[in-house]
Amino acid sequence: MSATERLYYQDSHLLEFDARVVDVSERDDGAIAVMLDRTAFYPTGGGQPNDTGTLGDARVVDCIDAEEQGVMHVVQGLVPQIGDAVHGKIDPLRRLDHLQQHTGQHILSAAFVKLFDAPTHSFRVMEHECEIDIALEDPTDEKIEKAVDLANQTIWQNLPIAIREVTAAEAAQLPLRREPAREGELRLIEITDFDLTPCGGTHAQGTGEVGVIAVRGWERAKGLTRIQFMAGWRVLSDYRKANRTATETAALFSSGRDETPALAAKLIDENKKLSRRVRELDEIACRVEAEEILSSLKSAVDYRPSDPLVATRVCNDRDADSLKHLALALIVHPNVIALLASRDSNTARLVFARSKDATGDMNALMRQACEMIDGRGGGKPESAQDGGKNTAALDDALQTAAQSLASE
């Protein structure tokens, strides 16, 4: 026999009660647990999280089902003593939320059984949404929304929800949605003409209290269909969030809220085409830039036509592709060595390349430069590239490469 009479079994709307402390103990983690002769606090179980609230001047932060021993209230603050009379208060919004999610699950699970003969294997109330794992074969959005529609129609009919206490023998004669998890006396939750299932949680008194059910998503998991759903005020809160996101996105397009998916798809498509065009134009620009660099090298006073033309340049915010384009545009000319670098806020890039008729080991130069910019690149004697994190050392790395080349 449990030391605690469970008031929540009979009345899920009882939010205040008086009780007497029968035991106070320290748990392994140092927390203090209070046992009462009666309680309206629901302890964690059956996929439903515990209630919170107050017990006299103490705060109830957790509630644990110790089965036969009773219900343990983990408290913080002024701990009552054995024998004290205490007044308990349940946090009403948390209770309402759990009641909506939990009763919503009964209704949704029953809808899947009625429509697709798909029983629920497990259920979880999480911080933002709930999950059920159901044996639904070949799930589709249409199938799932059909069950959601039936669940909501059932909610809006506001069917009464009753608690029935039966013996195991009586239960065996009844069309229960799922097998009872325990033996002996059973507590059944009956939604008139819709569902009958054994359960020890806190439920609404009528389906209307659940408000509404909405599915956020689904996936296949461990051979079952895992459905993320929410009920009651969570749907409203999620709607507000989703609506805000959609409205803010629409404002970026100066469009109506529901037109944004088509506009975003169009923008992405245009962006792909533009990127392609920019690449093409960049190659053309690199050819012009290469000619300018080489003609300026040739006009230097100490230029000798037999010497290789060493094009050294540090650019800002130039991506790896553009840097390669410039290198290629340079080395199509005879006897050219390109030592190019680019940096943005957190990346340093290097591209070293030479014309076929030029000499020098670009890979060896790159390995030396790599160390200076904390990179790990490499390549072949004709061309090599690298990316590193040390942007501050980029100019020095390029300088060192140019000096090494000159001393070869």
Of 156-164, 178-186, 196-204, 224-232, which segment contacts Zn ion by CB under 5 A?
196-204
Residue (232 or 360) nearer to Zn ion, CB: 232
Residue (190 or 283) nearer to Zn ion, CB: 190
* Shortest distance in whole angstroms from residue 90 CB to Zn ion: 17
* Shortest distance in whole angstroms from residue 46 CB to Zn ion: 6
Residue (45 or 308) nearer to Zn ion, CB: 45
Of 141-149, 197-205, 210-218, 337-345, which segment contacts Zn ion by CB under 5 A?
197-205
Q: Which amino acid is at 82?
A: I
* Shortest distance in whole angstroms from residue 201 CB to Zn ion: 4
132 binds Zn ion (CB under 5 A): no
Of 123-131, 161-169, 174-182, 201-209, which segment contacts Zn ion by CB under 5 A?
201-209
88 binds Zn ion (CB under 5 A): no
Between helices 141-156 and 92-116, what is the axis angle to 10°?
120
201 binds Zn ion (CB under 5 A): yes
Q: Which of 113, 188, 196, 199 binds Zn ion (CB under 5 A)?
A: 199
Q: Which amino acid is at 117?
A: D
* Shortest distance in whole angstroms from residue 319 CB to Zn ion: 57
* Shortest distance in whole angstroms from residue 130 CB to Zn ion: 12
Residue (109 or 383) nearer to Zn ion, CB: 109
Contacts with Zn ion by CB under 5 A: the residue count is 2
80 binds Zn ion (CB under 5 A): no
Residue (42 or 116) nearer to Zn ion, CB: 42
3-state secondary structure the chain: CCCCEEHHHCCCCCCEEEEEEEEEEECCCCCEEEEECEECCCCCECCECCCCEEECCEEEEEEEECHHHCEEEEEEECCCCCCCEEEEEECHHHHHHHHHHHHHHHHHHHHHHHHHCCCEEEEEECCCCEEEEECCCCCCHHHHHHHHHHHHHHHHCCCEEEEEEECHHHHHCCCCCCCCCCCCCEEEEEECCCEEEECCCCCCCEHHHHCCEEEEEEEEECCEEEEEEEECHHHHHHHHHHHHHHHHHHHHHCCCHHHHHHHHHHHHHHHHHHHHHHHHHHHHHHHHHHHHHHHHHHCCCCCCCCCCEEEEEEEECCCHHHHHHHHHHHHCCCCEEEEEEEECCCCEEEEEEECCCCCCCHHHHHHHHHHHCCECCEECCCEEEEEECCHHHHHHHHHHHHHHHHCC
* Shortest distance in whole angstroms from residue 10 CB to Zn ion: 14
Q: Which residue is nearest to Zn ion (CB)?
A: 199
Of 60-68, 125-133, 195-203, 262-270, which segment contacts Zn ion by CB under 5 A?
195-203
Residue (56 or 200) nearer to Zn ion, CB: 200
Residue (199 or 213) nearer to Zn ion, CB: 199
* Shortest distance in whole angstroms from residue 47 CB to Zn ion: 9
Residue (4 or 120) nearer to Zn ion, CB: 120
125 binds Zn ion (CB under 5 A): no
Residues 365, 377: Cα–Cα separation, whole Å: 11
49 binds Zn ion (CB under 5 A): no
Of 63-71, 129-137, 193-201, 286-294, which segment contacts Zn ion by CB under 5 A?
193-201
**Which residues are registered as beta bridge partners of 310?**
337
Contacting residues toward Zn ion, per CB under 5 A: 199, 201
